Each structure stands twice: as structure tokens, then as C-alpha cells.
Structure 1
Amino acid sequence: MHYRLGIDVGGTNTDAVLIDENLKVVADIKQPTSADISSGILEALRAILSVSKIDRTLITKAMLGTTQCTNAIVERKHLSKIGILRIGAPASVAIPPMIDWAEALQEVSLATAIVGGGYEYDGKEIAPFDKEGARSFFASLKGKVEAVAISCVFGCVRNEQEKEAALLCHEVMGDDIHVSISSEIGSMGLVERENATILNAALHKVAKTFTEGFDASLKQEGLVNAELYLSQNDGTLMTVEHARRYPILTIACGPTNSIRGADYLCSIKESVVIDVGGTTTDIGVIQNGFPRESGVAVSIGGVRTNFRMPDVISIGLGGGSIVRQYEDGSVTVGPDSVGYQIAEKALIFGGDVLTATDLAVAAKMVTLGDPSKVAHLSAELVRKGMETIQAMVEDNLDAIKISSEPMDVILVGGGSIIIPKDLVGAKSVQTPNHFGTANAIGSAISKVSGTYEKLVSFDKIPRAQALELAKNEAIALAVASGAQKETVEIIDVEDVPLAYYPGNTSRVKIKAAGELA
């Protein structure tokens, strides 16, 4: 018998789960997230091993979902010093890189340069790549930065100039320098794609630290046979090596893991997942077993980006959300929260802060802690508080649906005990077994994927043939990432005609996923 270990780090709790080779849950636990993250991971690891009592050498795969990259951007901490090269003069000099970034985040860049080069939308060269300009820029950075971000005008159509610049960068600055190129990260739109590439380069050090830390924790606890994987924000896994190259892909993997876990626990192929933690609630949609992807530019820590992200609405509502009643009788819930201190601060645990969990206990929705400690709350306060919670969830449930038809709703996350079951807009509301650790389960049962994206002219190649070629490319990418070829399936096909392009041009995007080899 072999086992998989799944660990997911949230803002309030770090969850761990062990799953056997038949994908059955053997044990699951919750631990408070620590300020330094890694000691919380280590405690969760020790706790799950102690509860399950299994032979550690039988754990062959360990999956980690972490918020560390998101936190680094939001908190502006631990980011690498980088240089930014844009290939696109004279066409793009009017808008310099990082033009709309917050000052504190702009400090990650030591120097930027825009050199000659770039492409038209149809792949024609705007100008030849200014190799000497790029060489002197890289020479000026040598020994001063830890990573370099390279972008090119319409690099998503053709990436030869970006690849040439990356080779030149390694030639001048050495093989150890981390290089992020935009064609491997973002989609159409130079500024958003460049932004995503800059963030990816700046996260280089953070990714190295947490992957090495997790690996060391596993070895320290005797998990010597475990291969290490990280959760991506599309609901699939990547290797450590891939995570170090593309750390930005771990952003928003928490809600994604919960969506995958909810799908596994309930097997409803089209549904809305409401994942309630201690601080926030994430609402997303399952399509074909995977999270629906956002079709618009997504802001991360105030930076607009256009790389793939799950379509998730996050609101400041959780089990630890602070409840306030005002003189006019109105009641608010959140957005601030007692977070991982709920076991000390909530009324039912002997604290002095009224939280959403206290309301749920007072409303007799759940039995937890000491119910006598909330017996003094007025019926009106409890009713108004629960109505506020219900309205917040229903408004956002309505916002995430794409039609007025009611949809099945799956409640997961430790804080979901505060959500009423009679939601307007829901066909049914289910709370599955192991709902509290759905995120860790999502990380443990995840597949490996490959995504292929390209602009294709159907005047040059027939549509059916182009889609078939793209599907084969996506399958090859999934296999290269570690999937078993015979298990790989196409899970998403996008073929979007581009009205502003001449001729019959479409953006083709295919995603394939399969079981870990």
C-alpha cells in the first residue's frame, strides 16, 4: 500500500490529509498556521503522522498548496531584486514597465531597459532585436540582481526574440541567474503579460526557500521516498523544478484546491463551491471537475496580470469574522477576523470577541465550545447577524453564476458551519464528509496538466486540423510534466475568434490533464 500526503496552508489553518492508493482518506487534521509558515507545516506533518501511525516510507508523493507567493506580493516582503528588459522599441516606449505599480512594489526593480525589437499582431517583425543594447544592459546588471524579466511586444504570437534574449542573459550573467520570459507566463496584452513576468521573476527567492524548506521537513520526519509536488492555480500539480521556474502559478492555489477537493468529495460535475475559512470565503465554480478559469485580467496585490487564474470571488467572511452591533440596531460581520486566534478569542471558547461562529452556535446551527457563553445574546442580534451572513453569500453566489438557474452548492472549509443551508439561488446545499480539509484533499488527489495556447490563422491551416495539433501539443506538455500518457484527457478547449485581427484568426487554448506517473 502506498500513500499520498496533501498539505494546504491557509491564512488561519494548515490542513493535512493522507490518502491511500485508492484515493480514500485515511486521516485528516487541522493545525493553526504559524507566523513563519514552515513550522506550522512541520507541526501539521507531525500531527498527521502521529494520528495515522502508518509506515512513513510508504508515503511516495507529497503535495503542498501554499499562500507564500501571494503573501510575499501582498506584504511586499522577501521579493528578489530584478532587472527588466522589454523588447519593443520604438513601438512601446511611451508606456514604461511598472507604470501603474505601487511605489513599494516598484522597488523590486533595480533597472529597466526597452531595446529595439518586437512583433506585429500577425508575427511580422516590427524591428530586429537590438542584441548589443540588450548585452550592455545585462552587463550593467551583473552581480547586482538575482533574476531578470524579459518581455516582447506580441511575444505571445512569436517568442524567438525573447528566447534569444534569455540565452544572451545567461551568456553575460551566468547560468545561475533566474530568467522569466513573458511568452511562457502570460496571455495577450503586453502590459499585463509583462507584469505577470516581473512578479514571477521577483518571486524566485521565495519559491526556492519554501520548496527547500518543505523538502527538508519531509526528510527530517523520515519521508525519504516521497516525491514532492506543488499545487498550481488551475487545480493541477507541478514538480519542484517547475515551481521554481514559475512560482507565480502557485498564486490562488488554495481556493482551487478546495474546489478540486469538493468535486472529489461530492462528484457533482457542475456546481458552485463555497469555501469558508477563518478569515475569508472563496466562491468558485466546478466545470468538468476543474475550477472555471477567469476570462478577465486579474489584480494580484494591486498589479494587473493576465496569466491563467481561477474565477473566484473572495469576501471578508469567515468563522472568525468579528460581529458588531451599532446603536441604530444594524449588525455587520467582518471583514476583519480573529483568524487563527479564534480558539482563544471567540466567546464560546472563553474569549471576549463576538465572532460569526458564536452567532452560528447561538442560532443552534452547530454545537461547539461552550454554548452557555452565548446564551445572553439577544434573539434580534443573532437573527440580524445570520441574515447579514446569508445576504453576503447569496449576493456573491448570484454574481458567480452564469445564468439565473439555481445551481448545486457544496460547502467546504472549517468555517462553513456559519453558512445557512437555505440559500436563494441554490438547487441543493451539501456539506460532505471531510469538508473541513477539502483543500488538502484537493491537493492530494490532483492531476498533472499541460496547457497549450497560440494564435492560429484558420486561413493557413483548417480549423479541425489546427485544434487536433493543439490537443496533441497539450497532451505532450502534460506528459512532460509527469502525467501517465494513457490517463491524459482533454479537459478544456477554447477557440476564440479575434475580431480585430485580419482574416480568420483565433486564440486557441487547450488544456489536458492526467494521473501522476
Structure 2
Amino acid sequence: MASSNERTWRLGIDVGGTNTDAVIIDGNLKLVAATKSPTTEDVMSGIEAAMHEVVSQIGPEAAKNIGFAMLGTTHCTNAIVERKRLNKVVALRIGAPATTAISCMADWPQQLKDAMSVRDFIVHGGHEFNGQLINDLVDQEIREVARTVRDEGFESVAVTSVFSPVSDAHEVRAGQILREELGEDFPISLSSEIGTLGFLERENATILNAALHDVAITTATSFEAALAAEGLTDVAVYLGQNDGTLMSVDYAKRYPIFTIACGPTNSIRGASFLTKEKDAVVVDIGGTTTDVGVLTHGFPRESMVAVEIGDVRTNFRMPDLVSVGLGGGSIVRQQPDGSVTVGPDSVGFRVTRDALCFGGEVLTATDIVVAKGIAPGVGDPSLVAGLDPALVEVAYAEITRIIEDAVDAMKTSAGDITVILVGGGSILAPSKLEGAGEVLRPENFGVANAIGSAISQVSGQVQKVYSLTDTPRDQAIANAKALACENAIAAGADPDTVEVIDVEDIPLAYLGDALCVRVKAVGDLML
């Protein structure tokens, strides 16, 4: 076995709705193996198949150079959407009597609440917007909740205190009491570590995070087992975060909700790496959908609005994306009035079986570009030679319109912007787009998402509200920077490489002298 300082190769895997992509990157960040494998219903067998293929491509001797394995996965998203494999959760709200007007999870789908067997409790405590105490935290109330958790077999606790982004003292104390009663390893999620201002949305995100604890453990354990089956038993394992960076397995077990939507952000990071562009619109076209995001300073732009996950409104960090039903497997139909629709339904990963150009019987978007002669090497052009040229032109115009509209929706100004095309389905996109100054389709565009997973850094973020009466602005920003760097190190970054890359401070006039500070720090993997 090569020594640890020689094992600098990286295995990157990203799970998409249609395909699971895998790559191996050498110590000089050069691609040495790549594959696409159909995403399976259980997800993990597709991961195993893709991993086996790329490891086989380089052989057992070269595989000894692999020191890192990165996984961008849909496990947590699927668990919420499917309402399966979720922990039995107690939701503890700290804020009586101020927060009793609206009950916990009042607007949640009943099916999702049932899947988590949720019970909620409201106890005294919490703070005002300026950090002033609403009520003292009553330790005995917390201990009574812990007794219920223990006696009724609940599996995790979500703790949310009113205005905890201003003061997290009561959440931290509640967490201490719960661990005294339930054990140090009992999974407890604190809202101040997950969401931002917006009490109900932050509470929702924290409950979802608590519900995903066992899913995260199962995902990490299964990934490590798959690596071991390939002889990769001494590698550092990371999971993808939805800000385009990585986190260690231990960090992912604490904050599994941060894996949601990591696939599109991996594609955005991969697009940046392949083109060296730092500011652009990235169009990631798969077999079923097209995700459009924005590169800002080399990282995905984050959404500034609340985001719904599984029909639950949340406010934790999420990438700013537009998703449309266009992919290589999108079904093309001619309407009675002569117009043509493309998608949103799709044959997905069955495109290589069902599309006309592969001998199937379904007219898909892939057939249109093959018939136009702009997708060399894809399918058999003779099988679509009989398509009506007018139909082909109208369908291709519709494909182009869908892409252009999605790009336009992500632009913040009227000027032209660089567009980067990635994903296996990006053969659908034309080389020129309205509103784009330059359209780039880099080499290895088809596995940009797995490349993004493999080359990513580790990040830490913080968004905290400070009272300028208690903490001067410079001191508040310095404190937030220090916390962000600490979070990056906790997520697995090398302390010697961590640097702050983004600082934003926003005065909250409606809260008096309050200042909201957002800081992001990134660092390289710990070698």
C-alpha cells in the first residue's frame, strides 16, 4: 500500500435522478477514469456499480493511490420526499408563552408528520430580537421532555428557541440537559446551527435535520462498506454539502440536511473547475431535468428566499436554482395544432432503450438532436432519418426556448453572460443562446457533477445576528469570521488552509441596532 502522503488521488461520485456518475482524479487533479451508471431505486447499488467500474478502469495497483472518497447523494432528499426511513422525533420549542399562538408543524403534510411520529413540546424561555430575556429556561421542563423521549422510544430531538440566531444560550443549555439525561451520543439538533431568522422556517429545518440522522448514518456506513468491497479501506470519506463544498462523515451525521441539493452544486463547482470561470450561469442537463444555477466567485449563489423541502417551508442555506423538465429522455409530442411539446415527462435512464435512435419507440429530445446531426456518436442516426424535418426544427426551437428562459430567469442584469453547459444531456443545447455572450461546453462535461464532488474544498458558514449595543460592528464581524473558520475545521478542513472568502453584514433596521453577519470560510482537505 502506498504511504498516506502519496495517496492523493480522489474518487468522486454524484447521484443524479437518472445517472450516477463516478470519476477518479489523480494528485494533479487530472481525470484518469470516468463512468455513468443508471441510478437505482435503492440508490446504493447504483453507487456500488459506478464505483466498481471506475476502480476497474485504473486497476488494483493504481487504486492504491486513492486517499479520498467523496459522495454527493440524494439519500436525504429521497427520505423526505418518500416519507421513509425517518427518525422518530421530539420537537422541543423554547419560547412559552410568546410562541404559543401557532403550533409546531402547523402547515406540514400529515403523511410526513406521521412518518416521523412527531411529538412537540413548548417550554418556557427564549429571547427577544435584541437578546433580552423573555423567560428563564426551566431545567425541570427540559428533563421532563427527556423522560418522554426515553420512555416512549423517540430517536432524536430538535431544539428551537425564539431568536436563537441572536442568543443561542437557551438552546445550548437545553442540549446539555438532554445529553445529561439521554447520553452524550444521543442525536440532538439545535436550530441556531442550521437555520436563520424566521422562527417557523428555522424550526421546520431543524426537525427535518433531526429526522434524517439515521439516514445519514446508513448512507455513510453503506458508502464505507462499498469502498471496502473495492479494497479501499484506508481512505478519508466526505459527503457533499449543498454550498458546493464537502463535509466529513461525522459532520454529516450532525447536519444531514446540508446534503440536500448537493448534486446541482457539485455540477456548478465542476463547471467552474473545467472552464476556470468564476462567474457564470451553469446549465446542467441530465436525463430528466435541467438545473440552472449561478457561479459567483467560484461557488454556487445561495437562495435568499425560503425553500420548500418535501412541501415543508425552511430557511436553511440552499443553492439558488431553477429546475425545468427538460432532459435527454424528455418525451416529444406533436399537438393537433402543429405545435410541439418537449417534456416535462421523461423516459429517464431508459433513454438508451426507449428512444428511437436506440431502437426504441418513444420520440425523445435526444432523437431530435441526433436527427439534426449535432450529436455525433449518439445512437443510430438512420433510425431517426425518417422524422419530419419540420417537426425536428420546431422541437429543437422549443428545446432552445426552454433553456433560454431558464437562463434568463437566473440573470440579475440585462447584459449577456457566460453560460457553461454540463451534464450528459447538454448535447441538447445549441452553441449559441439568446442573452449569453459566450457558451462553453468543456471537455468531460458529462461527468462535471462527479468532478465537482471530487475537487471540492471544505467549508464553514455562519449567519448570526448581533446587537450593536453589546458588540461593536468590527468585533461582531471578527467573531463571525472566527466561528465560520471553526465550522470549516469541524467539517474536515485543514486549519492551515482555511480562509474567509465571503463576508456580508446587513443592518436590520426593523430590529433596532441589530446587525446580521454572514460569513463563509473554506479550506483544503486535511491530507
Calculate the TM-score normalised by the size of structure 1: 0.97
Q: Which whole-Å CA distance do the structure 1 matches of 2:118 and 2:383 have between them?
A: 55
Do residues 328 (structure 1) and 328 (structure 2) align? no
> Residues 493 and 481 of structure 1: is their aligned pair in 2 closer, same or farther, counting only changes over 3 Å?
same
Q: How far off is 1:481 after superposition? A: 2.7
Match of 2:434 in 1: 424
Structure 2 residue identity aligned to 1:41: I
Match of 2:11 in 1: 5
Do residues 268 (structure 1) and 251 (structure 2) align? no
Give runs of aligned pairs for residues 67-466 of structure 1, distance below 5 A: 67-107=74-114, 108-142=116-150, 143-367=152-376, 368-466=378-476
Q: How far off is 1:396 after superposition? A: 1.4
Structure 2 residue identity aligned to 1:430: L
Structure 1 residue identity aligned to 2:90: G
User: Deviation per CA, 1:255-280, whole angstroms, max 9, x where unpaired?
Assistant: 00000000000011110000001111
User: Deviation per CA, 1:120-167, whole angstroms, max 9, x where unpaired?
Assistant: 001111111132223222212214211111111111111111122122
User: Deviation per CA, 1:149-193, whole angstroms, max 9, x where unpaired?
Assistant: 111111111111112212222233334431111011100011000
Is residue 196–residue 464 contact of structure 2 (8 Å, CA) maintained in 1? no
Q: Where do 5+ consecutive residues of structure 2 fail to align?
A: 1-5
Is residue 450–residue 474 contact of structure 1 (8 Å, CA) maintained in 2? yes
Is residue 268–residue 299 contact of structure 2 (8 Å, CA) maintained in 1? yes
Match of 2:72 in 1: 65
Structure 1 residue identity aligned to 2:309: I
Q: How far off is 1:78 after superposition? A: 1.3
> Residues 147 and 400 of structure 1: is their aligned pair in 2 closer, same or farther, counting only changes over 3 Å?
same
Out of 26, 33, 43, which is 1:37 matched to?
A: 43
Is residue 251–residue 490 contact of structure 2 (8 Å, CA) maintained in 1? no
Is residue 138–residue 173 contact of structure 1 (8 Å, CA) maintained in 2? yes
Out of 50, 56, 60, which is 2:56 matched to?
A: 50
Give the match's secondary structure for 1:195. helix
Structure 2 residue identity aligned to 1:389: I
Give the match's secondary structure for 1:7. strand
Q: How far off is 1:484 after superposition? A: 2.5
> Residues 161 and 100 of structure 1: is their aligned pair in 2 closer, same or farther, counting only changes over 3 Å?
same
Give the match's secondary structure for 1:85. strand
User: Deviation per CA, 1:442-472, whole angstroms, max 9, x where unpaired?
Assistant: 0000001111222123444443343233323
Give the match's secondary structure for 1:372. helix
Out of 458, 483, 486, which is 2:493 matched to?
A: 483
Q: Which whole-Å CA distance do the structure 2 matches of 1:470 and 1:179 have between them?
A: 23
Q: Which whole-Å CA distance do the structure 1 matches of 2:484 and 2:186 have between them?
A: 28
> Residues 369 and 7 of structure 1: is their aligned pair in 2 closer, same or farther, counting only changes over 3 Å?
same
> Residues 460 and 153 of structure 1: is their aligned pair in 2 closer, same or farther, counting only changes over 3 Å?
closer
Calculate the TM-score normalised by the size of structure 2: 0.95
Q: Which whole-Å CA distance do the structure 2 matches of 1:489 and 1:266 have between them?
A: 23
Structure 1 residue identity aligned to 2:142: A
Is residue 78–residue 206 contact of structure 1 (8 Å, CA) maintained in 2? yes
Q: How far off is 1:25 after superposition? A: 1.1
Q: How far off is 1:386 after superposition? A: 1.1
Give the match's secondary structure for 2:362. coil
Give the match's secondary structure for 2:90. strand
Q: Which whole-Å CA distance do the structure 2 matches of 1:477 and 1:40 have between them?
A: 32
Structure 1 residue identity aligned to 2:93: R
Q: How far off is 1:475 after superposition? A: 2.4
Structure 2 residue identity aligned to 1:111: R
Compare 175-184 and 116-125 and name the one that shifted more.
Answer: 175-184
Q: Which whole-Å CA distance do the structure 2 matches of 1:271 and 1:185 have between them?
A: 28
Q: Which whole-Å CA distance do the structure 1 matches of 2:490 and 2:96 have between them?
A: 35
Q: Which whole-Å CA distance do the structure 2 matches of 1:496 and 1:268 have between them?
A: 28
User: Deviation per CA, 1:69-126, whole angstroms, max 9, x where unpaired?
Assistant: 1111111121111111101111111111111111111111331111111110011111
Q: Which whole-Å CA distance do the structure 2 matches of 1:96 and 1:146 have between them?
A: 22
> Residues 479 and 206 of structure 1: is their aligned pair in 2 closer, same or farther, counting only changes over 3 Å?
closer
Give the match's secondary structure for 1:500. helix
Q: Which whole-Å CA distance do the structure 2 matches of 1:481 and 1:238 have between them?
A: 5
Give the match's secondary structure for 1:219. helix
Give the match's secondary structure for 1:261. helix
Q: How far off is 1:58 after superposition? A: 1.7
Give the match's secondary structure for 2:353. helix
Q: Which whole-Å CA distance do the structure 2 matches of 1:70 and 1:433 have between them?
A: 30
Q: Which whole-Å CA distance do the structure 1 matches of 2:26 and 2:353 have between them?
A: 35
Structure 1 residue identity aligned to 2:44: S
Q: Where do 5+ consecutive residues of structure 1 fail to align?
A: none
Give the match's secondary structure for 2:64. helix
Is residue 130–residue 467 contact of structure 2 (8 Å, CA) maintained in 1? no
Q: Which whole-Å CA distance do the structure 2 matches of 1:230 and 1:499 have between them?
A: 38
Is residue 84–residue 109 contact of structure 1 (8 Å, CA) maintained in 2? no
Match of 2:519 in 1: 510
Give the match's secondary structure for 2:226. helix
Aligned length: 516
